[in-house]
Amino acid sequence: MLTRRSILGATLVVGILAASPAVAENAPAFDAKAFAAAQRAGKPILIAVHAPWCPTCKAQAPILSDLRADPKFKDLVYFVIDFDSQKDLLKRFGVRSQSTLIAFKGEKEEARSVGDTKRDSIFAMAGKAI
């Protein structure tokens, strides 16, 4: 039996999920030329492999948004790869799961994580590219 409390609770959960920023919002889709240029320039790069249906990706989204806003990461070049539609890029980067984060310093991969939703460890992993 549906109660007023359960309906309000479900509405609140749906509202929170809808309001949470998606990792792909305001983030550039992967661009091979821009990626290669950033690598040649020795820039720090973070690639996020995202799927819109993935709860772990949704949990990572606000953390990645905070990371991109942090002055320490002002020079970080950020790309998003769509797990469902960019299978060629998954193969290129050896990605087997959505919610994969890959940090590069220039041409060298410095760190990789899969399924991490802890702010401190995501910041530390991305910091290896700085």
Instruction: Judge contact between 57 and 20, C-beta under 8 A.
Output: no
Backbone CA torsion sign across 13, 60, 75, 80: negative
**Token couple for 37:** 């240029």
- CA separation, residue 124 to residues 2, 12, 88, 128 (Å): 44, 32, 28, 7
Measured CA to CA, the distance from residue 29 to residue 71 in angstroms comes to 22
112 pLDDT above the threshold of 50: yes
pLDDT tens digits, 26-56: 678 899 999 999 999 999 999 999 999 999 9
Mean predicted confidence (pLDDT) in 12-25? 41
Q: How confident is the model at residue 78 (pLDDT cuts 50, 70, 90)?
A: very high
Measured CA to CA, the distance from residue 19 to residue 24 in angstroms comes to 14
What's this model's pTM, rounded to 2 decimal places?
0.79
121 pLDDT above the threshold of 70: yes
122 pLDDT above the threshold of 90: yes
Mean predicted confidence (pLDDT) in 89-106? 96
Domain ranges of the chain: 21-127
Measured CA to CA, the distance from residue 39 to residue 62 in angstroms comes to 26
116 pLDDT above the threshold of 90: yes
Scan for tokens 């720090």, then name that residue: 44
* CATH placement of domain 21-127: 3.40.30.10
More confident of the two residues 71 and 15: 71
Mean predicted confidence (pLDDT) in 5-12? 44
Which of 104, 128, 10 has its CA nearest to residue 48?
104
